């Protein structure tokens, strides 16, 4: 039996008992993935981050069918990430537009972290999409910090079972 490599998360008791306490089925990451773990949900959310609001625009730019867009947007609204508002142009039926809520904005680090990983993976086209800070022009990166402001690497992270 080899010891686990250094540089991983430390599990506190009783979570450290890996046979009794697997994270499977109740890890918050899994709930998040149930919501935005599909390519279609994240590409629709990306298009809202890029300023898209209207159903047709979002579906087309995300590259998903109207049926898929309808289902994903409905779930994002139900989960409180997007807000749906009706609008109507003269002589047309009522349509809907979608805007971010605060919770939807909170998901921004997911996009940034995924884009950073994707940038390191092989790609077919030469061009890519870069995100940078309007203030200073520097590229933006995802970071993990604690509430006290320290940057926290994997091997300084502890995981524990939290009961309310």
For residues 3-42, which are near a second copy according to CB under 8 A? 4-5, 7-11, 15, 18, 22-39, 42
Among 13, 55, 79, 84, binds a second copy (CB under 8 A): 79
Picking from 30, 36, 14, the residue whose alpha carbon sits closest to that of residue 162 is 14
Picking from 25, 76, 71, 20, the residue whose alpha carbon sits closest to that of residue 46 is 76
Q: How far is the CB of 155 from a second copy (least distance, A)?
A: 8
CA 143 to mean position of chain CA atoms: 14
Number of residues that bind a second copy (CB under 8 A): 105
Residue closer to a second copy by CB (options 70, 131) is 131
- Using CB under 8 A as the binding rule, whether residue 56 contacts a second copy is answered as no
84, 77 in Cβ contact below 8 A? yes
Picking from 151, 129, 131, 153, the residue whose alpha carbon sits closest to that of residue 140 is 131
Among 17, 56, 65, 80, binds a second copy (CB under 8 A): 80
- Using CB under 8 A as the binding rule, whether residue 53 contacts a second copy is answered as yes
Q: How far is the CB of 73 from a second copy (least distance, A)?
A: 16
Q: How far is the CB of 60 from a second copy (least distance, A)?
A: 7
Residue closer to a second copy by CB (options 77, 110) is 110
Picking from 163, 122, 119, the residue whose alpha carbon sits closest to that of residue 26 is 163
Per CB under 8 A, contacts with a second copy among 121-160 are 121, 123-136, 138-148, 150, 152-154, 156-160
Per CB under 8 A, contacts with a second copy among 83-112 are 87, 97, 99-100, 103, 105-112
Question: Exposed e or buried b for every residue in 116-128, given b needs 16+ CB within 10 A?
Answer: eeeeeeeeeeeee
Picking from 81, 82, 69, 79, the residue whose alpha carbon sits closest to that of residue 41 is 69
């Amino acid at each position: 039996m080899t010891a686990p490599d250094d540089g991983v998360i430390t599990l506190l008791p009783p979570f450290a008992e890996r046979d009794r306490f697997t994270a499977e089925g109740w890890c918050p990451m899994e709930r998040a993935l149930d919501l935005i773990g599909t390519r279609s949900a994240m590409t629709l959310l990306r298009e809202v981050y890029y300023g898209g609001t209207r159903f047709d625009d979002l579906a087309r730019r995300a590259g998903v069918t109207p049926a898929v867009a309808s289902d994903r947007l409905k779930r994002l609204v139900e989960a409180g990430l997007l807000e749906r508002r009706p609008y109507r142009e003269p002589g047309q039926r009522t349509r809907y537009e979608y805007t971010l809520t605060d919770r939807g904005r909170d998901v921004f680090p997911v996009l940034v972290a995924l884009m950073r990983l994707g940038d390191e993976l092989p790609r077919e086209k030469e061009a890519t999409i870069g995100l940078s800070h309007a203030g200073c022009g520097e590229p933006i990166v995802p970071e993990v910090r604690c509430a006290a402001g320290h940057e926290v690497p994997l091997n300084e992270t502890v995981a524990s079972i939290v009961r309310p």
